[in-house]
Amino acid sequence: MTLFDVYPLWPIEPVKAYGCRIIDKEGIEYIDLYGGHAVISIGHCHPTYCEMLTEQLNKIGFYSNAVQNSLQNELAQKLGELSGYEDYSLFLCNSGAEANENAIKLASFHTGKAKILALRKAFHGRTSGAVAATDNPTIQAPFNRTDNVTFIPMNDLAAAEAEITKGEYAAILIEGIQGVAGIFEPEANYLKGIKDLCNKYKVVMIFDEVQSGYGRSGRFFAHQYSGVRGDIITVAKGMGNGFPIGGVIISPLFKATHGMLGTTFGGNHLACTAALAVLKVIRDESLIENAATMGNYIISCLKGNKAIKEIRGKGLMVGVELKEGYETLRNRLLFEKKIFTGGAGKNVIRLLPPLNIDKQTIGIFAEAFNQLTETN
Ligand X SMILES: Cc1ncc(COP(=O)(O)O)c(C=O)c1O
DSSP state of 145: -
- Among the candidate windows 83-91, 95-103, 296-304, 366-374, which touches ligand X by CB under 6 A? 95-103
82, 97, 245, 298: which one binds ligand X (CB under 6 A): 97
* Residue 124 near ligand X by CB under 6 A: yes
186 binds ligand X (CB under 6 A): no
Binding of residue 32 to ligand X (CB under 6 A) = no
Query: Of 69-77, 92-100, 351-359, 366-374, which part binds ligand X (CB under 6 A)?
Result: 92-100
Residues 92, 263: contact at Cβ < 8 Å?
yes
The correct pick among 32, 101, 163, 175 for binding ligand X (CB under 6 A) is 175
Q: Which is nearer to ligand X, 330 or 332 (CB)?
A: 330
Contact flag: residue 101 with ligand X (CB under 6 A): no
**123 belongs to the binding site for ligand X (CB under 6 A):** yes
* The binder of ligand X chosen from 71, 210, 288, 344 (CB under 6 A): 210
Given the rule CB under 6 A, which of 137-145, 206-214, 248-256, 308-316 is the region that contacts ligand X? 206-214
Name which of 123 and 365 has its Cβ closer to ligand X. Answer: 123
Question: Per CB under 6 A, does 332 bind ligand X?
Answer: no
Does 121 contact ligand X by CB under 6 A?
no
Rank residues 35 and 218 by Cβ distance to ligand X and give the closer one.
Answer: 35
Nearer to ligand X, 352 or 372 (CB): 352
The DSSP-derived string for 7-63 is S---S--EEEEEBTEEEETTS-EEEESSHHHHT-SS-BT-HHHHHHHHHHHTT----
Tell me the residue ranges of DSSP E strands in the chain: 14-18, 21-24, 29-32, 89-93, 115-119, 149-152, 169-175, 204-208, 232-235, 246-250, 308-314, 317-322, 339-340, 342-344, 348-351
Helices first, then strands: H and E counts in the chain? 11, 15
Choose one: 122-130, 138-146, 186-194, 336-344; the region binding ligand X (CB under 6 A): 122-130
Residue nearest to ligand X (CB): 96
Cα(105)–Cα(240) distance, integer angstroms: 24
Give the span between the Cα atoms of 69 and 62, in whole angstroms: 10
Cβ neighbors of 184 (< 8 A, separation 6 or more) are 121, 154, 177, 178, 312, 319
Binding site for ligand X (CB under 6 A): 95-97, 100, 123-125, 175, 179-180, 208, 210-211, 236
